[in-house]
Chain A
Amino acid sequence: MNPIHERLQQISRRHFFKSTGLAAGRIALAGMMLPELAQAAAKIKPGLRSHPALPGLPHFAPKAKRLIYLFMNGGPSQMDLLDYKPSLSKIYDTDLPESIRNGQRLTTMTSGQTRFPIAPSKYNFKQYGKSGAWFSELLPHTAKVADDIAVIRSVHTEAINHDPAVTFIQTGNQIPGKPSLGSWLSYGLGSECDNLPAFVVMTPSWTAKRDAQALYQRLWEAGFLPTKHAGVSLRSKGDSVLYLNNPPGVSPDGRRDMLDALAKINAAEYQRIGDPEINTRIAQYEMAFRMQTSVPDLTSIKNESKATLDLYGPEVVIPGTFAHSALMARRLAERGVRCIELFHREWDHHGDLQRDLPLQCRDVDQACYGLITDLKNRGMLDETLVVWGGEFGRTVYCQGALSRESYGRDHHPRCFTMWMAGGGIKGGTVYGETDDFSYNIVKDPVHIRDLNATILHCLGINHSQLTYKFQGLDQRLTGVEEANPVQGILV
């Protein structure tokens, strides 16, 4: 049989018009000039999601459809924010007992110190909500949603420096090269929208004017997964998505004309060559065009009510701030983006914590409250998982000069505090316990592998079965060691 005829039979025009969702007028011309264009392009299914979930996924009914991850890069101080240790005040400036330190390795920044004096938090704490969770005065707004969140005070990791630690929590391995959490979600669960990427990343500004620890694109890259699963940066300056805007002097109509001509020539090429990849390319150019209108629609907040904006605080109207990015996160969530991650920097307070931590908290506190409340008001919190935290905690002992009012803290991987809220999470929970020094975990430890397993679980994924074969191994986000979802915080 003539292969061309065979191909013609595969496709019907009716099917094409139904499935492409392209403006009929655009296609009409092409259709008249080249009937087969329509037929060739019909194999593509724009209008549907850009890529589907893997077969068999989700593994079970998910509680959350998507993830919003609020990452505090640098390591927020747990005992100044959420892990209340009232008894420390009485032992101010005494040495951390050796029985507590217990040979724990230190970074080389403080391993040379002759003393490890206790630095109690200078901040006041109060209990909030039905759960009676303790919140520092630096988080007055987050405290208001105490009953929506689960505070986990017993997260721990092995990495003790920023680069390995942040790479570990975001990619499951301290060494660069593995896919990020968001890219795993894109790979496993697919995309739910046809005009935005499945995984979007923002890097909002911060207030404390200190040197800020670095980020690395590997935190949202796809590692050995296909690069289409990599996080796409939504930027506050320049093109909101890289290269999104037409060059100056090229109007949307001008771009449309080019795409139409391109599609015709490409479709003719498909006729000659028969490579299905040609159709994929035609479809991707169409999706690029759709993104050119969907992204500006996304970033315009002119239709947000004052009441909504007020939830996030005054900075919500300033692009690039954490508050504005949090609002963008909600707007992305509404549009079906699978994973949205905000990387807020400068939480690494080795000295002058009292100067910088309040500024950092002011950046994020109300916006976190605003995001949770906004999602709840729209009935979206139940289907959106929100995670807040950094790559490790900080030491109870002081780094550098100590006074009641002024102190610094070194990195502390043995325990730190994160919170989760939304789909799958039992609000108003306080999980895990640390000793009186917030130095060791005494109850319900949660390794960051368990944390990642929990995130996947909420999204309907059995972490041990979301795998990708690379270099001989069924690779997983949670690696080869055991990991378990934290049942105690799950609904």
Chain B
Amino acid sequence: MVLMGALPQPGWAAPAKVDFNRDIRLLLSDNCLACHGPDSGKRKAGLRLDLKEGALAKLKSDNFAIVPGHPEKSSLVERILTTNEEDHMPPAKSGKKLTPAQIDLLRRWVAQGAEWKPHWSFIKPERPPAPAVKLKTWPGNPVDSFILARLEKEGLKPSNQADKTTLIRRVTFDLTGLPPTPAEVDAFLADPSPEAYNRVVTRLLKSPRYGEHEARYWLDVARYGDTHGLHLDNERSMWPYRDWVVSAFNRNLPFDQFTTEQLAGDLLPEATREQQIASGFNRCNVSTSEGGAIDEEFYVRYGVDRTETMATAWLGLTVGCAVCHDHKYDPISQREFYQLFAFFNSMTDAAMDGNALLPAPVLKLPSDEQQKKIRQLDEAIPGVEKRIAAELARIDYHEPDPRPAATNPPQDFVWVEDAFPEGSTLEPVGAATQWVEGDRVFSGKRALIRSDAGLAQDVFSGAAQPLTPGKQDKLFVHVYLEPTNPPKTIMLQLHTSGGWTHRANWGDENAIGWGEKGTPSKLLMGQLPKSGVWVRLEVDAAKFEFSDGTKVDGMAFTQFGGTVRWDKAGIQSGGGQFDPASESLLAWEQQEARRDKSTAPKEVREAVKQKSADRKPEQVKLIRNYYLEHIYEPKRLIFAPLQKEIADLRAQRSILEQSFTATLVSHEMDKPRGAFILKRGQYDQHGDAVIRGVPSVLPALKTGATTNRLDLARWLVSPEHPLTARVSINRFWQQFFGTGLVKTAGDFGATGEWPSHPELLDWLATEFLQSGWDVRHMIRLMVTSATYRQSSAVTPALVRRDPQNRLLARGPRFRLDAEMIRDNALFVSGLLVEKQGGHSVKPYQPPGIWEAVGYTTSNTAKFEQDHGEALYRRSLYTFWKRTAAPPFLTTFDAPSREKYCTRRERTDTPLQALVTMNDPQYVEAARQLGTRMIGHDIDAGRRLDFGFRVVTARMPSRFEKAVLSEALNKYLARYRKDADAAAKLLSVGESPVSEKLNKPELAAYTMMGSLLLNLDETLNKN
């Protein structure tokens, strides 16, 4: 590994005095602390080098690792110098090796007295005075003094200010993610005032695009996505949280509130709707519902993810290292990790997300319109209830004389013959239901026939006239098994209000897995009946152990394999199919009292179970009214329509409610789950129980009666905290200058990089705090600095001296981020639809990307592209499927959003060139840019000027113009010769092609548009 970090980069001036934090700490971390660090479990030779006391203590061997001022007496120095392989440090098998420069540093450090300092980032930043500089005219604000002081120390000079067109394009991209229009450039060029630039910055900071742009960076940190991220990777509804982030930046919500509301918005007193939405931050982690997954394991994973994300985003600490053991480099013990974890392991969301769009807890967000409709429905329902009450009051009910008990000889009541019972719904499994006529029909005109290799059936339920089996009755059906293709098993299943829980099985009792053998859920009727003849199958109703009054409203004729004919089914009954309860309240009460399960409401059930003498008057009325309204046959014609009316209203309400936008939020359990140290990080290996707390190296946490996420959030933004302001401001710096003052934006610990400008970082951190966490103020400071406004042109000497531009002797220049590249193309072509917020959209994407990975039943296994304006929204609103993120964004280093990301890589690959040249989105944008060029002027030269200016903000040079003209002429010639090719090119994209334009000409300008969109200058902020 290349060691950059604390060591001066090649070409930087080597300081004479060794500084522990700058020069030594990282060196020790990288090479020594794995065995001589905070992890007590792995410590060798009793030597601990991260603490002064440890390093100066006498070793087990009686030697001293370090004797300050005496390298010759220090075994550390001896061991790194020795050529004896056994003694040499670091040991060969570690794969670590010190360079001569590093060895020299360590030796000099010991010689200079081996000074120790606590790790810099754990010390509260003090506001340093702006340093004195020689070039007094240069600094525009204190930021510049720090930058210039360092440059002067390095013997470098700042660059000139960038020209105004470069500058306005740079700052417009940086503050809004979009380029300036030519009119905006003109206005800036025409404004000679020294305040002109500040005015531009003010305008941009107020633009609603500012929030959209800033939100994008934060959404990487927050790991925002539109799917769950694991296994099925179904859609989840988090976008209201995304819109909250946009709005938070546009409202310039102070960063401390920004922090508190996201980590603990749900716990704020009288939390507003917005604050609860913000708490969705904690729900952005990936989640699963994979069959077989173990709840406890995932509770732990989610808790760890939330803890790590919080720690990386605000503390800049890699606490994840302490999941399995004490942190090897930073003073964070495993216990302290689980104390932090304990803040996040007691939210009410379930381990299994159910693959649902809205796994609880969620917040529903009805629009005003929807709320109005709900109120209307809520008012309508009582109206119908009143009408029902009036009808009930009108009935003069008298108990009828009992009918004589049935004594008839049993007879068949045929239910299925040539048709299914009236009112029933048919749901076959396997092939469609098939009736056959002909000689092999048992009775009537036709019989059912079904062939299948596996499980198949004809199923109906919901018959208007159900069967009411009595104890002596028998259910029957006739079957004919095909002798050449007999089934393995046949089954008769019955449907009641309790569902499909009654089955009779003939043949192989294992072939069909449903039910428990030998119980009414699977009566074992023995062998298959004889094949080749019609056989009547009968089952005694008593065997099904129906409770009294049970109604059978459906049957299933089920088989496993083979060919089976089914015919004439029903019930053999002596009692007729009259149910006395349909006319007699008393009969119903008796049935109801004996029933184990019932559809009647609880209070009715309770009343019925009371002895009639003990019932209170209101209970008597309750029973009567329930019976008359729901059971009593003579009045069904009155009540059925009223009930339907009410059911319809409730259904409407429920559908409406389901259509509400909603978003995942945090919600805390009443009683926290226990938290434990997990041995080796294993979810089921509990060690000691721990309580919520923060690492002891950091300021103490103010605890209350309940210490929760809100206390944690307030602790993060307390003025004593050494990390939050530094870590946060560093990310903003990184956004504008390409690299943070601390390059390792997510690691401010011992293994993180020493800041390039420590005093500047502290000044910015204190300024952030003093400003009341005013993000806009801080951003203004950065982009109005002379540092930011420098030209980015560079000499080879400076490239060699400072390839990554860490010293900032020139302005920032780097490739635009994925979203900016696409948004720019949409903007300059005039296609961009600037509509804020809402459900994420699915613009063009090559076919097969989701399909290649998606679980076949996932609701994101098939990509269905949107149309119309959804194709042209800012990339922020693109639907983010986390197991297959949008390719036109990930190709340009956008992260998958499965995990937090504080710093995107910035690569340059041929695949990127293919996107901007060939992706239909870019080809369509090129066509529209070409259309704009043609529409701008009749003269080709001025058209090219205009196009060039739209994408780069400046006019082309003579040379550039010549190259463009030459290319244009080639394309004109080509497409005039080949009109067919022109038509094909223009067919790309769904936006209309202007009919007025000459097609070959437009095709040529489309290619010019494409050329302009692919210029290096277009793809960069310059």
Contact = CB atoms under 8 A, between A and B. Distances in A.
B893 A227 contact: yes
A109 B291 contact: yes
A269 B1003 contact: no
Interface stretch (A329-337, A369-377, A441-449, A467-475): A467-475
Contact of B510 (A264, A268, A287, A402): A402
Contacts of A276: 799, 803
Contacts of B959: 34, 264, 268
Contact of A108 (B294, B885, B917, B1007): B294
B231 A214 contact: yes
Nearest to A225: B905
B913 A288 contact: yes
A277 B849 CA distance: 31
A248 B1007 contact: no
Contacts of B980: 249
Contacts of A474: 1, 30
A295 to B, nearest CB: 10
Interface in A248-300: 248-251, 253-255, 257-258, 260-262, 264-266, 268-269, 272-278, 280-282, 284-285, 287-288, 291
Nearest to B845: A242
A277 B908 contact: yes
Interface residues of B, number: 112
A7 B796 CA distance: 7
B799 A257 contact: no
A277 B815 contact: yes
Given A214-B858, A401-B510, A281 B911 contact: no
A160 interface: yes
Contact of B853 (A203, A244, A467): A203
B963 A261 contact: yes
A241 B233 CA distance: 24
A29 to B, nearest CB: 10
A228 B907 contact: yes
B885 A264 contact: no
A249 B292 contact: no
Given A212-B856, A247-B920, A288 B910 contact: yes
A162 interface: yes
Nearest to B985: A249
A19 interface: no
Contacts of A162: 231, 290
Contact of A401 (B513, B849, B985): B513
B852 A6 contact: no
A78 B853 CA distance: 24
Interface in B231-258: 231-233
Given A108-B294, A402-B510, A266 B1003 contact: no
A233 B883 CA distance: 14
A107 B292 contact: yes
Interface in A105-132: 105, 107-109
Contacts of B411: none
A227 B909 contact: yes
A291 B918 CA distance: 13
Given A177-B898, A401-B511, A247 B910 contact: no
Interface string B760-802: 0000000000000000000000000000000011111101000
B312 interface: yes
A161 B351 CA distance: 14
Contacts of B233: 214, 216
B957 interface: yes
B855 A211 contact: yes
Contacts of B848: 235, 237-238
Contacts of A410: 292
Contact of B918 (A107, A213, A243): A243
A379 interface: no
Interface string B943-981: 000000000000001011001101100110010000011
Contacts of B854: 214
B8 interface: no
Nearest to A236: B848
A28 interface: no
Nearest to A235: B848
A261 B964 contact: yes
Contact of B847 (A216, A237, A269, A274): A237
B1 A226 contact: no
A238 B845 CA distance: 11
B846 A238 contact: yes
A235 B846 CA distance: 11
B592 interface: no
B1010 interface: yes
A246 interface: yes
Nearest to B230: A163
Nearest to A272: B793
A291 B913 CA distance: 11
A87 interface: no
A161 B290 contact: yes
Interface in A409-451: 410-411
A27 B30 CA distance: 48
Interface string A150-181: 00000000001111000000000001110000
Nearest to B749: A472
A471 B985 contact: no
Contact of B1015 (A197, A241, A265): A265
Nearest to A253: B974
Nearest to A400: B513
A275 B792 contact: yes
Contacts of A6: 795-797
Contacts of B983: 249
Contacts of B292: 107-109, 160-161, 410-411
A163 B231 contact: yes
Contacts of A10: 796
B705 to A, nearest CB: 35
Contacts of A239: 846, 918
Given A245-B918, A268-B960, A471-B320, A275 B967 contact: no
A324 to B, nearest CB: 15
A108 B290 CA distance: 10
A472 B982 contact: no
Contacts of A403: 510
A83 interface: no
Contacts of B996: none
A220 to B, nearest CB: 10
Nearest to A287: B910
Given A163-B230, A261-B964, A284 B799 contact: no
B796 A274 contact: yes
Contact of B1 (A221, A262, A285, A467): A467
A247 B231 contact: no
B543 to A, nearest CB: 23
Nearest to B903: A224
A464 interface: yes
A284 B1007 contact: no
Interface string B917-933: 11110010000000000
Given A108-B294, A401-B513, A472-B329, A284 B909 contact: yes
B558 interface: no
Given A3-B795, A261-B966, A212 B855 contact: yes
5 closest A-B pairs by beta carbon, nearest first, are A107-B292, A249-B985, A249-B984, A472-B751, A3-B795
Given A242-B914, A280-B908, 10 more contacts: A108-B293, A175-B301, A175-B899, A214-B853, A225-B905, A277-B908, A284-B910, A467-B1, A472-B752, A473-B321
Interface of B: 1, 30, 95, 229-233, 286, 288, 290-294, 301, 305, 312, 318, 320-321, 324, 329-330, 510-513, 744, 746-747, 749-752, 792-797, 799, 803, 813-815, 846-849, 852-858, 883-885, 887, 890-891, 893, 896, 898-899, 905, 907-915, 917-920, 923, 957, 959-960, 963-964, 966-967, 970-971, 974, 980-988, 1003, 1007, 1010-1011, 1014-1017, 1019-1020, 1022
7 contacts: A163-B288, A273-B794, A274-B793, A282-B1016, A462-B95, A471-B312, A471-B321
